[in-house]
Amino acid sequence: MSKLDLTKFEKKMIIRNTRESDIDKIIALQRVCFPGMVPWERDHLESHLEIFPEGQFVAEFDGEIIGSSSSLIINFDEYDDRHSWDDVTDNGYITNHNSEGYNLYGIEIMVHPEYRRMKIGHRLYEARKELVRHLNLKSIIIGGRIPNYHKYAGELSPREYVSEVSKHKIYDPVLSFQLLNEFSLMRINPNYLPDDVQSNKYATLMEWNNVDYRPMTKRFYQTSYPVRICVVQYMMRQISSFEDFAHQVEYFTDVASDAGADFAVFPEIFTTQLMSFLNERSPSMAVRKLTEYTEQYIELFTDLAVRYNVNIIGGSHFVKENEDEIYNIAYLFRRDGTIEKQYKLHITPNERKWWGISRGDEVKVFDTDCGKIAIQICYDIEFPELARIATDKGAKIIFTPFCTEDRQGYLRVRYCAQARAVENQIYTVISGTVGNLPQTENMDIQYAQSGIFAPSDFEFARDGIVGETNPNIEMVLIGDVDLEVLRRQRQDGTVRQLKDRRHDIYNIEYKK
């Protein structure tokens, strides 16, 4: 009897690291696994492979990709309890991956519906566990969907639903599977995946602990993460053209660059200096004429940021949008040439009366090459909810361009900026205008003393003041803030305002 050729019966199941050639197949697989949800883009998966190739796996069966998983490493303690998927993945690009972190965070796992019950998901989880053991990480953390919850949402709260699944009274294809794979429930996060309709946007935060983890004394935190800030206290003076304004701005940008600054910060609505040559007495009409310089303003600061290699908080400027609405907008001009903007959310009675300024409606946090930052324009820093929301979104520095006409107005901005630094364990920066524009209605006098503020604890500057300018003269302030000291103090400071918040009795709801 001749021997059978057994190789023709073989169908190989392989769990391996993802390759670039797998990307299109993974995107197609995701459309099949999660219909109705936004799939990966090629840029996302390319970023995963570039940043952390060891953490990306596929299941290959007989040459076909039938499952995949993605992950990154983080220090989970650095993320807020109510983080979303976008927060922990940097919107899917995992550029926040920290090779010195302690936790593997699983951000995606999927198996083709036709191949379920073949323990594909279990094999992918085992690959993750083996990676955690190999890298000596403390745990795996995942934000798991609860896709059957929509069937019970009318009768059970998310916690009640999870409890019933844990007792095996209800079957959930994701949560039941995770429990079988030795994951334990940490908490339930709302608004985790905005397009996850089946889970009503909820997710269960689960953890698997590596019992073989060995604390390693060779792991040290970096000793410092300095960020240099140049604050411009800007003199408002009569000028005769946009070129005069541009020369003044370029001078200060050059000063910031020569000092090796990472950020140059200009004051609120300092572009109203242009009104000094517009020959328009009516404040409301002068503002509308000012908006005609928006493109020149943006082109100027984009060029300066790239040419002088410094991120610029371009003060703020009145911009006409939505046909006839005028907004007070602060722009971030990154030194790589990209641009972001933050609308002023709270409009003062003076702005409404004289200029008819409209309100923005979103608290933004921006990624930079020096970490996450936020911009809160003048009056906005006086509302503590905004700073807390920005901090929860990951901001480490809040920049506040301001413009005040008297000492009382200035002190409101200053005291509130210092309070926000203490409350949220962040750095705050205020930059104001000084000088006079005698022929410009509603912008004739200015009062300012700019500064950089820190939380009040031993490792920070005395009195919580990194530096401050002299009042009412044109000058710059250059100071360093240390994001590593900030991180350590959030974990081990004398007081820990972020960790000690009583979520059981109060919370801030961001409705956007």
Q: Is residue 497 part of a domain?
A: no
474 & 374 share domain: yes
Q: Is residue 501 part of a domain?
A: no
The pLDDT, as a whole number, for residue 219 is 47
Domain limit, last residue, from 209, 235, 260 = 209
pLDDT digits (tens, 9 = 90+) for 409-437: 999 999 999 999 999 999 999 999 999 88
* Position 307 pLDDT exceeds 90: yes
Q: How far is CA 142 from CA 70, 75, 202, in A?
A: 11, 13, 13
**What is the rounded average pLDDT of the residues 252-260?**
96
Cα–Cα distance between 485 and 483 in angstroms, integer? 5
Q: Is residue 512 part of a domain?
A: no
pLDDT digits (tens, 9 = 90+) for 203-253: 888 899 999 898 865 444 556 789 999 999 999 999 999 999 999 999 999
**What is the rounded average pLDDT of the residues 40-66?**
91
| Angle between helix 242-258 and helix 294-307 axes, rounded to 10 deg | 20
* Cβ–Cβ under 8 Å, residues 282 and 356: no
Cα–Cα distance between 58 and 50 in angstroms, integer? 16
* Position 371 pLDDT exceeds 80: yes
CATH of the domain at 382: 3.60.110.10
Q: Is residue 510 part of a domain?
A: no
Q: How far is CA 299 from CA 250, 268, 272, 302, in A?
A: 13, 18, 17, 5
180 & 235 share domain: no
Which residues are known to be catalytic?
268, 344, 378
241 & 198 share domain: no
**What is the rounded average pLDDT of the residues 145-156?**
90
260 & 181 share domain: no
191 & 246 share domain: no
Highest mean pLDDT among 38-47, 173-182, 330-339: 330-339
What pairs with residue 401 in β-bridges? 431
Cα–Cα distance between 190 and 226 in angstroms, integer? 35
124 & 270 share domain: no
263 & 303 share domain: yes
Alpha helices in 37-98, H assignment, sequence order? 42-51, 85-89
307 & 413 share domain: yes
- Supply the mean pLDDT for the chain: 90
125 & 179 share domain: yes
The pLDDT, as a whole number, for residue 218 is 43
**What is the rounded average pLDDT of the residues 446-465?**
94
* Position 115 pLDDT exceeds 90: no
* Position 320 pLDDT exceeds 90: yes
Q: How far is CA 81 from CA 62, 281, 501, in A?
A: 42, 52, 11
Least confident among 232-241, 400-409, 496-505: 496-505
What pairs with residue 109 in β-bridges? 69
pTM reported for the whole predicted model: 0.62
The pLDDT, as a whole number, for residue 220 is 47
CATH of the domain at 156: 3.40.630.30
* Cβ–Cβ under 8 Å, residues 318 and 290: yes
Q: How many other C-beta atoms lie within 10 A of the C-beta of residue 477?
A: 22
**Number of domains into which the chain is organized:** 2
Q: Is residue 1 part of a domain?
A: no
3-state secondary structure 168-226: CCCCCCCHHHHHHCCCEEEEEECCCCCCCCCCCCCEEEEEEECCCCCCCCCCCCCCCCE
User: 404: domain range?
Assistant: 226-492
Phi, psi of 193 (to 5 degrees): -125, 105
* Cβ–Cβ under 8 Å, residues 86 and 92: yes
Q: Which among 90, 103, 102 is positioned nearest to 51, based on CA atoms?
A: 90
Cα–Cα distance between 378 and 345 in angstroms, integer? 10
Q: Is residue 500 part of a domain?
A: no
